[in-house]
Amino acid sequence: MIARFFSYILGAIVLNIVVVLALVLLLDLPPPGNGRAKGAQPYLLELLKKAHDEGTDVTTLQPVAIPGDPSVAFVVRQVAAQSEACSANQTIAVQADGDCLVIDMIAPTPRLFARIESVILPLAIGILVSILAAILLAKRFLQPVQVIADGLDELAAGRFDQRVSGRLTRSDRSFRKLGALVDEASGRLQRLNRDRERLFHDISHEIRSPLARLQVALGIVRRSPARIDGLLPQLEADIERMDRLIDEILMLARIDGSSHQPMDFGPIDLLDILDPIIADANFEGAERSVTCRYEGIDGIHIDGSAELIYRALENVIRNAMRHTDESTEVVVAGSEEGGTYSITVRDHGPGAAEDDLIHLTEPFYRANSDTRSGAGLGLAIALHATHLHHGSISISNEPHGGLCVCLTLPRRPAD
């Protein structure tokens, strides 16, 4: 690439040289000596006119040579009145018979080399300087391009840990900016690749456990068919767990895909979404004497996706119902401030370690002390759904125990 760029610059230089030489030849520029001779011709003409007027026979004068170019000389000759020279700016006098005395320059026909002799040295210097400039320009402009191209080749080969900005510190600002963008893309691809590998690992781990229990149960049933009734609850629970896991994985993938395309939002009331979720939570929590209730403002109207908001709130409330202590209450509170709504869910469970709080929204993450957690996708789904509405989610421990999850949603998502 550098050689090609250099050849373009050098080709342009050679073309300019050819044009200069062509102009020298086509314009018939005189060699340096002839130029000096022509410059002296008007001065000699005036001297000869003055001598002729004083009565001197100028035709008897010897040819006048030009210092510095002895091959060029001036002579006086008589020409007919019809001659072209008689009307040119070289006439000394017109005689009585109409003929003219003219001054004429005698010079040998210039050779080709003599015609371009005056431009050879400047052209040679120009060629050397131009070649040096072409080399420097090619190196300066194409070296960073080559660095960026090598970085893109590394990306295409799957080596996402390579960075190019460190090799572009002395390049132009535009190249440094382009290198920073390439590094940013490399970092994102590296994170996506790492998250994908972890996701595959976590999915396989989550599916392997219920599948292993199902295989064990089937083996027991084959040996002792009479035990099928005792194993059915466990089989149903494992099948339900796998079904819920697959549903959450598909929902997470759908939400993640929606972040790269426009969403079709419409007006919704969050209370209409919360009512059935709270009713289901009370039904499911009756076995542990756990209740759920709403408190706060009436009517929370936003523009958004009802399905995504439903899944976000359902996962947060289900998570609270699962972790709160027996015979306690989960409180869902709604508030509004400056056109932004907040839905806060508080439970009375053990909370989470401070080091775990920032990781609870990561897919498949479960705190070490958590023995009642699901697949670890609920809060991740809530986070992605909230972000699609240009909102946020925060998680903190309550001062007197329990976990507090707050979803903040704007009335209308920003364009």
pLDDT tens-digit profile of 148-175? Answer: 888 888 888 888 888 888 888 877 788 8
Is 189-258 a domain of CATH 3.40.50.300? no
How buried is residue 190: exposed, middle or buried, by Cβ count under 10 Å (0-12/13-18/19+)?
middle
Identify residue 166 by its one-letter amino acid code.
G
Identify residue 351 by its one-letter amino acid code.
G
Identify residue 181 by its one-letter amino acid code.
L
Identify residue 247 by its one-letter amino acid code.
D
Whether the pLDDT of residue 109 is over 90: the answer is no
28: three-class secondary structure by DSSP = coil
C-beta of residue 148 within 8 angstroms of C-beta of residue 171: no
The hierarchical CATH code for the domain 268-410 is 3.30.565.10
Structure tokens at 48: 């000869």
Which residue would you say has higher pLDDT here, 118 or 161? Answer: 161
For the entire predicted model, the pTM comes to 0.51
How do beta strands 291-296 and 329-337 pair? parallel
Find the range with the poorest average confidence among 18-32, 38-52, 68-82, 169-183. Answer: 18-32
Rg of the chain over all Cα atoms, to the nearest angstrom:
48
Distances in Å between the alpha carbon of 202 and those of 205, 294, 361? Answer: 5, 34, 15
Q: Report phi then psi at 202, rounded to 5.
A: -70, -40
Q: What pLDDT digit, counting tens, does each position of 223-279 carry? A: 888 888 887 887 887 787 777 777 767 776 676 665 555 566 788 898 999 999 999
Q: What is the pLDDT of residue 275?
A: 92
In the predicted model, what is the mean pLDDT of residues 288-292?
92
Measure CA of the first residue to CA of the last residue in the chain; give whole Å: 43
In the predicted model, what is the mean pLDDT of residues 318-343?
90
Q: What pLDDT digit, counting tens, does each position of 359-384 carry? A: 777 766 666 555 455 556 778 878 88
In the predicted model, what is the mean pLDDT of residues 335-349?
89
Integer Cα distance of 319 and 367 in angstroms = 13
C-beta of residue 37 within 8 angstroms of C-beta of residue 72: yes
H/E element, 50: helix 32-53
Contacts of 235 (CB under 8 A, 6+ apart): 214, 217
Other CB atoms within a 10 A radius of the CB of residue 149 amount to 14
